[in-house]
Amino acid sequence: MARYIFITGGVVSSLGKGLASAALGAALQARGYSVRLRKLDPYLNVDPGTMSPYQHGECFVTDDGAETDLDLGHYERFTGRPCNKRDNITTGRIYQDILTKERRGDYLGGTVQVIPHVTDEIKNFVLDGNDEYDFVLCEIGGTVGDIEALPFFEAIRQLGNELPRGHAIYIHLTLMPYIPSAGELKTKPTQHSVKELRSIGIAPDILLVRCDRPIPEGERRKLSLFCNVRESAVIQALDVKTIYEVPLAYHHEGLDNEVLNAFGIEDRNEPDLSQWEQIVETIKNPEGEVTIAVVGKYTSLLDAYKSLIEALTHGGIANRVKVNLEWIESEVFEQEDPTPYLSHVHGILVPGGFGERGAAGKIEAVRFARERNVPYFGICFGMQMAVVEAARNLAGIEKASSTEFGPTEEPIVGLMTEWVQGNERQVRLADGDMGGTMRLGAYPASLSAGSRIADVYGSTSISERHRHRYEVNASYRDRLEEAGMRFAGTSPDGFLPETVEYPDHPWFIGVQYHPELKSRPFEPHPLFSSFIAAAVEQSRLV
């Protein structure tokens, strides 16, 4: 039977519960255990699909088409296990399901209440489908004391009593701030956070304390005494140079051993963390470096590009180089010449995005990369803008545009109204709901033999994750190919363009999907590995 680890947070948000959960999962995997990670989000949105990246950061998409929290990206990258729609739940989804049941009459006239109906739904979600796993790690979003999180805390409190003895533990992640004027690390924020947690019936077994310097023994004993945990269970979580060092750091501090002790498991075998050591050594001791310009519209909040940042890092690992990122707000190029910003970079990447703001600037970045022979990687919207740029500047279609920006005489990019998913035809309306209506999840694609992208993949058949509502208009394909752009990949039926490239360019590829979602530190995505390799070649010319 699976054992459950509930990870809660206190003091402030954004301390890294998702990263801590992923790193602990990786450490347990290194000991030979099977793990599953799940995220419980207290907000009322059904999912983050309609939330602004400024509000929530990246929306991570799974193979089965779920729009989820960005922490699921950490889970996949650290454990290698693909997540699915049953690994992330929100208050909105829970209430949606409960109200559907109530309207259907499932509750037989009973009064629907937070306890037991909402808490039962949460518990059912936590317990469902875990028979094949040794450990299930459940992260509760937000912080203790958040009013919207109370049903989740109540549910995991109940599970602590309902599961067999020794099958559930609680880890509480807190902040231990350093006060320069006092010259001390302060324990009071953690003490108050644990007091709040205990007031709702949850006593943490392990404290994971974020700090920027080692915790003195006196403060460690104080936390142990006032928070009622063993001194060995006060684990310091120090800042590290790369997130891929976190599993090593946590093991060094004894977190995985303390977790096993809390469950009463005697395991004297040391985990095999050699692959993490190799990754960290490669990151800390690169053989060179390249500079990549990321021209986007959410550059003031880098969490909006979390998977992209990590995938570029993975590309650097594959080539043993450090990847320096220069973030450029695309609107700048609508007013200024891109040359001073881009002449020194070794690669240009235009990521996904939504809406007209900044689109003209992205088109200028595409043009610079094409004309100056700088390696270019366009992802989703970045591919669409590459096609619009080709239509305007190579094919002579001056009014080429996207219907995403409004009515246009030349809809090079248009709203998708139907497509095939598996054996079913999907239909969407222009004025329909926004949430969950995009082309979401893994879809197969066919690549042309002999194309650059087929060579990169080493295959003509691939499957990649999508998240988009607009698609390149295939009726313009012939005119664009006559102008020099090659449509190297399509959906298996040949109807939907999936990839474009320029055969005579050093490295210019646009893809409609999001390859960054499937990149792992131990298995860098081939497109990112190839893009960074092209940037390395470019660095020898600049």
- Sheet with strand 410-415: strands edge to edge: 400-402, 410-415, 470-472
Number of CB atoms found within 10 A of residue 238's CB: 15
Do 3-279 and 286-539 come out as alike in CATH topology?
A: yes
- Sheet with strand 135-140: strands edge to edge: 88-90, 35-41, 135-140, 3-9, 168-175, 206-211, 234-238
pLDDT value at residue 436: 61
CB 140 within 8 A of CB 38: no
Closest by Cα among 247, 245, 299, 235 to 272: 247
* DSSP assignment string, 122-141: HHHHHHTT-TT-SEEEEEEP
Tokens of 23: 């790193």
Closest by Cα among 232, 172, 159, 163 to 198: 172
Q: Report, as an integer, the average pLDDT of 86-91.
A: 94
Residue 49 has pLDDT above 70, yes or no: yes
pLDDT value at residue 426: 65
Radius of gyration of the chain (CA): 25
* CATH no. for 3-279: 3.40.50.300
Bridge partners (DSSP) of residue 510 are 378, 500
pLDDT digits (tens, 9 = 90+) for 144-173: 989 999 999 999 999 999 999 999 999 999
pLDDT digits (tens, 9 = 90+) for 202-244: 999 999 999 999 999 999 999 999 999 999 999 999 999 999 9
Tokens of 348: 């240009």
- CB under 8 Å to 237, separation ≥6 — which residues? 16, 20, 173, 208, 209, 210, 211, 249, 250, 253
Tokens of 498: 């999936």
Label residue 15 by pLDDT band (50, 70, 90).
confident
Residue 55 has pLDDT above 80, yes or no: no
CA distance 35 to 79: 8
CA distance 460 to 23: 35
Mean pLDDT of the chain: 92
- Report CA dihedral (126, 522, 27, 220) to the nearest 10 degrees: -110
Residue extents of the structural domains in the chain: 3-279, 286-539
258, HSE (Cβ side, Cα atoms, 13 Å)? 23
CA distance 137 to 385: 41
CA distance 82 to 519: 11
Residues classed as catalytic: 380, 514, 516
* CATH no. for 286-539: 3.40.50.880
CA distance 459 to 489: 11
Q: Report, as an integer, the average pLDDT of 114-132.
A: 94
Q: Give the largest CA-CA distance in the chain.
A: 75
CB 27 within 8 A of CB 273: yes
To which residue do tokens 């390799």 refer? Answer: 533
Whole-model pTM over 0.85 = yes
Closest by Cα among 102, 244, 237 to 175: 237
From the number of C-beta atoms within 10 Å of its C-beta (0-12, 13-18, 19+), residue 326 rates as: middle
* DSSP assignment string, 64-90: T--EE-THHHHHHHHH-PPP-GGGEEE
CA distance 208 to 196: 16
CB 538 within 8 A of CB 505: no
Report DSSP state, residue 300.
T
Residue 76 has pLDDT above 90, yes or no: yes
Bridge partners (DSSP) of residue 444 are 463
CA distance 466 to 464: 7
To which residue do tokens 């109906």 refer? Answer: 117
Torsions phi, psi for 365 (to 5 deg): -65, -40
Residue 431 has pLDDT above 60, yes or no: no
CA angle 527, 529, 530 (to 5 degrees): 65
Label residue 57 by pLDDT band (50, 70, 90).
confident
